[in-house]
Chain A
Amino acid sequence: MDLEVLERAPEAGDAEAVDGLVAGFVARAERFAQRAVSVRAAGDGLASASAGEWASALVERSTRLASGLDDAAGGCREVAQVLAGYGSALRALRRRVLTARHEVWSARERAVVARERYWAAASAGGAPVVPASWTDAPALPAVPEAADELRAWRAAVRDAAEGLRAFVACCDEREDLDRQVAAQLAGLDVMAAYAPGTTLDAIVDVPLVQALAATSAGTVTAEQRRLLSGWFDDAVTAVADDLGDDAALSSLTDFLRAWQGDEDTMSAAFAVVGGSRIVRLLTDLGQERVAGADGRNARLVAAADAVRAGLASASRTWNAGAAQRFAAAMVDVARSRRGTLSVIGYLFCDPTGARMSEQLTVAVADQLDLVEQETGLAWREEYGSIGQGLTTPGAMTDGVPVHDPAAHVLATLALYPQAARDWLTAGHGEWSVPGATPETVRIAHWFGARDWSQGASDGFEVIGSLWAVVQASGPHAPEAAQVAGINTLAFKGLSQNPFFVPGQVSAAGAQGVATAVSAQLPGLIEVGIVRSAPDKDEIRVMWESVQVPYLESEIVTARIDTSWVGPVLRAATSDPAARQTVADAVLAYQAQALEAAYHPDGASPGAVLDRLAVAWGAVDGASVSAAEVERYERDARTRSHLDAARGVIDGGVALSPVRPMASIGVDQLLNQVQALAESAMTDGPLPEWATTSTFPAGVDSLDDAFEHAVTSYREAGRWDREGVRAGDTGSTDAALVADEYVERYSLMVDAMRARGMDDVKESM
């Protein structure tokens, strides 16, 4: 009897671990099964959103994919079944092994005890005792008296042998079990490829539809992107290959409409197809437009609209690098293919329905800037461009002029004010003192050189509104300084732009400029109107801090040379509504300044009246000058007769179609001065009648008004001489002081008119 066999361990193995494996495969099977369901559902969704061959291809692909997933689920289920059988066989085997071992050991104990008793009985009967192993029981008793003991011994040895046989059987069974399970597992395909977390997962976890349904940015793998682009690519190619294929066109449109809300899907799709193919496609679509083919045109326009909406959605997930790549590719095509530039304009011309992201807008603006700085010319097409055709399915009208894409790109940029500020100054820059001089060339081009005239573009509408939008900034110094820096450069640029003249500035353009000027009026009056930017060190810093009469702390403002103000104000006052904006800003300034001059320790009344005189003069001079220029241009166009026009210009102020600022200002001044004077004398709240009272009868001219104001401040004990330019005559005559203010007003009117015609004549 070979007891060494008991050293073997047929019960070895962790059945609990096998249970874990089983659970894992069951779970995997469920996951694959669920995915197969969602792939089928997504495929059905795609099919219903699409039409034609492309759609059936989608269904076919998703069906194939779902079947693969079903197979994988089935494989996992089989593995689980095999492993589960193995686990329970292992458990049963362990019980039998324990029993067999126990059987052998207890039989051996019984045999040893029986052998001792047999020997004792044999010895008592006179037989010699022959030592032997417990397994070697003799066949016959040595003496008859020992026969019972020998029977017990032999029975015990038989039991041990029986146990040993059972144990050996267990060993054999284990070997067979292992062999069988290995064979079963090897027979399953899924196991051949399976190593958790590697190949199988990778293969099965990359369904096309998962890419389509990807919900978070950055999770799309290269493989997914490839599959996804395959679909979108095919659609774009199908349309481009046969522009007459309406089914392909609608399947592309339907696909985009179905998925345009999913930014990540759009992002991946557009990034893969790329900027150049997108604008080529749109240019193709635009060229397909045929007059009269309304139904067909409507489909083309709808497809373009879906592409634009998809791009807007896609662009929202792009970082600067992705946006720059896409923009560069678009502009690259536009450099060589006619019509594409207006397509870029088209993409940006619906900022409410399809607003391109900040990143893409900045990227395209950068690209346009690059090209225009290279050539120094406005880069655009003609009215009636291809992009124009995409804006409407009906007859082509002037509509939104997309032929000048910069207008739409910068209009979109204006929706992102801080990005606009940073773009204009080519980066954040250093806005402290001392700080590095910012890049100035960009504003010099877009404000100072570019032709935005009504004839060629939008009449300075976009540049005006961009300028107005960047005015609102945080109260903190760096932002305020950046805005002031932009204003310095914008004033300098616009004042030298030969196209920035009344007649070429649209009403909307004038309004934008007027809004921008009004926003900076208090600072502008100090630096630009009352005095020029410091002359004795050149304008090395783009901004400075100044005291405004009615404010306690200084404000940051632009450094404006007085010669820059005329052309800008002239444009801002060339339209009645825009002029009203500026006039309202002056009145608001005046109301605060006049009141502040009544407060003890408040503003100097002399300085305040001086500022009103020059502010009125600036607005009136600019308004008259604008009217002169427009009249001149009109006459020059209709009569081509310079001398006749000049005769009319000499009519001067009488030409002005509007009531002078001075007149409006005087009304308010007199009302307010009287009310404030009453208040100062009674030292109480303003009685209601006072705020509406009219000035004393007989005051109906500028000098009377100033005289009245001086007298009024003097009576309130607030009069000083600060701000009056003429030397101190020692005169207490309010009329003489008033004359000085009137003189200031007149000088400012003349200064504003002085060079108004020069620019016009140069540019004509």
Chain B
Amino acid sequence: MNSPSDRSPRSRECAQAVVALGVGLAVAGCSQGAPRPVLTPDVVWDAGPPSGEIESDPWVRAVRAGELAYATATNVADFSDPSMTATWSRNTIVWFGSLASGRLADGTARVVLGPMPFTALAVDVEGDGARATVLGCAAGLATDPDESSALEREQWPQAYSYLLELDEDGHRRIVGAGRFQEEYKLPSGENLTDETCADVDIAHGLFEPAPSLADLKKLGSDDVIVPEPDPSPTS
């Protein structure tokens, strides 16, 4: 299960790939020292993994894969793994990298204990099938340390949504995600709101073994890795 993801050697492209991405972000393959393999750990679910017919929907599966990749990438400060680049848009990845770099610089780095707890309730595919919104309820990331305020904890679970696009390479990528505050009627007839979500079961999964905060904090803000830019930058 624990297999290093495929990392193609990139040292030759490195010389040309010195691209500034905001503050102190290393481009994949250009970091100094030994490469850090991105291992996707096992996830142990409190009451079984998310299930139901909707879980077989390709858009929902892309969200699951994306959240697992995000949590994994955050814990090792490496967002360049194919598991990440195949599930999130470049804009989102660069932004995550920049936030991670800032946290390491500020000494506020944290590990994510498991993928975002999320129950999918609806998939809204746009006409041409190239774009979809996955809607449901999310319970918020469990982190170590947990600096969230009481005020913030009160805001979870909340109505949550993912916007995805089917790219030309056949991958469905998350281009945006966040609290859902618009009007949406679920297949059940109810509106999707934070109140609705209070009554929805949300499966929580934790990485086994738990990620190491100490290991993450050994890294500096320059050690965060983001993928090389596309030759033709798009989203």
A-side interface residues toward B, CB under 8 Å? Answer: 372-377, 430, 432-441, 444-445, 448-449, 492-493, 495-497, 531-532, 534-541, 544-545, 561, 563-564, 755
User: How many residues on chain B are close to A (CB under 8 Å)?
Assistant: 48
> Which residues on the A side are within 8 Å of B19 (C-beta)?
373-374, 376
| A436 lies within 8 A of B140 (CB) | no
Beta-carbon contacts of B7-22 to A below 8 Å, as 1s and 0s? 0000000000011111
**A536-B143, A537-B116 are contacts. A544–B89 as well, Cβ < 8 Å?**
no
What are 10 A-B pairs at a CB distance below 8 A? A433-B178, A449-B20, A496-B105, A532-B152, A534-B148, A535-B143, A537-B140, A538-B74, A544-B179, A563-B108
List the A residue with the shortest CB-CB distance to B105.
A496
| A534 lies within 8 A of B152 (CB) | yes
Cβ distance B213 to chain A, nearest Cβ, rounded Å: 15
Question: A440 touches which one: B18, B94, B146, B163 (CB < 8 A)?
Answer: B94
Number of A-B contacts (CB under 8 A): 126
Question: A434 touches which one: B91, B106, B180 (CB < 8 A)?
Answer: B180
Question: B95 touches which one: A377, A440, A497, A544 (CB < 8 A)?
Answer: A440
Output the residue of B23, B138, B140, B182 with the most chain A CB within 10 A: B23
> Which residues on the B side are within 8 Å of A538 (C-beta)?
74, 96, 99, 141
| B98 lies within 8 A of A440 (CB) | yes
Cβ distance B72 to chain A, nearest Cβ, rounded Å: 14
Within 8 A of A (CB), among B91-112: 91-92, 94-96, 98-99, 102, 105-106, 108
| A532 lies within 8 A of B105 (CB) | no
A377 to B19, CA, bound (A): 11
Cβ distance A751 to chain B, nearest Cβ, rounded Å: 12
> Which residues on the B side are within 8 Å of A544 (C-beta)?
179
Say what secondary structure dominates the interface of chain A.
loop
**A496-B105, A531-B152, A535-B148 are contacts. A541–B179 as well, Cβ < 8 Å?**
yes
Output the residue of A373, A433, A497, A537 with the most chain B CB within 10 A: A537
In the complex, whether B196 has a CB less than 8 A from a CB of chain A is no
B-side interface residues toward A, CB under 8 Å? Answer: 18-23, 74, 89, 91-92, 94-96, 98-99, 102, 105-106, 108, 116, 133, 138, 140-141, 143, 146-149, 151-153, 155-156, 160-163, 165, 175-182, 235
> Which residues on the B side are within 8 Å of A435 (C-beta)?
163, 176
| B149 lies within 8 A of A539 (CB) | no
14 new A-B contacts, CB < 8 A, other than A437-B91, A438-B91, are A373-B19, A432-B182, A433-B161, A433-B180, A436-B91, A436-B163, A439-B91, A495-B102, A531-B152, A536-B148, A538-B141, A539-B95, A540-B92, A540-B177
A540 to B161, CA, bound (A): 11
List the B residue with the shortest CB-CB distance to A444.
B22
A435 to B133, CA, bound (A): 10
Cβ distance B15 to chain A, nearest Cβ, rounded Å: 14
> Which residues on the B side are within 8 Å of A449 (C-beta)?
20, 22-23
Question: B155 touches which one: A433, A534, A541 (CB < 8 A)?
Answer: A534
Question: B20 touches which one: A375, A440, A537, A563 (CB < 8 A)?
Answer: A375
| A445 lies within 8 A of B20 (CB) | yes
> Which residues on the B side are within 8 Å of A374 (C-beta)?
19-20
List the A residue with the shortest CB-CB distance to B152.
A534
**A444-B23, A536-B156 are contacts. A433–B181 as well, Cβ < 8 Å?**
yes
